[in-house]
Structure 1
Amino acid sequence: MVIELVEQEEKTASGIVLPDSAKEKPQEGKVVAVGTGRVTENGERVALEVTAGDSIIFSKYAGTEVKYEGKEYLILRETDVLA
């Protein structure tokens, strides 16, 4: 699945501006596209439970980062989705 990353806040709740080096790696995103699912050992296709448009939370270091037309995306497996 392809995920568009949700940017972290520039300021904390108390108004402190965070430099890029202090920000954590994003763990939230919006599903942009999904594949057809996985194929089991006996040849059956299992559809993904997420759909385009879903907001998700994923493992911190999961997936592969890609840039396309100036935007950053993440390619994930469904097993990397936490919620």
Structure 2
Amino acid sequence: MAIIDNVLKKYMTKTSTKRCNVSIKLDANLCDNLTIICTTLGITKSKLIADIVEASGVSKKAQDLKSKSDTREKSIKESDYVS
């Protein structure tokens, strides 16, 4: 939740001159909550979700794992040619 709150705070400082608190509850109304937040901030849901994923570090970890996997596959293919 802290990551989501930090992303929302970032948007609030960019878009608002007055202080207000924004938060999203992770419950059955999540889709509606996201729609309200995004409409208020003037952003798309996909942009908000992309920023949350980026802030969480998940995308970087996924890229690191893919890079390691690609390196292993290349190594295996090269060893097949050597044999």
TM range (shorter): under 0.3
TM-score computed with the length of structure 1 as normaliser: 0.23
The structure with higher relative contact order (CA 8 Å, sep 6+) is: 1
From the two aligned structures, give the one with the greater strand fraction. 1
TM-score computed with the length of structure 2 as normaliser: 0.23
Structure possessing the higher radius of gyration over alpha carbons: 2
From the two aligned structures, give the one with the greater helix fraction. 2
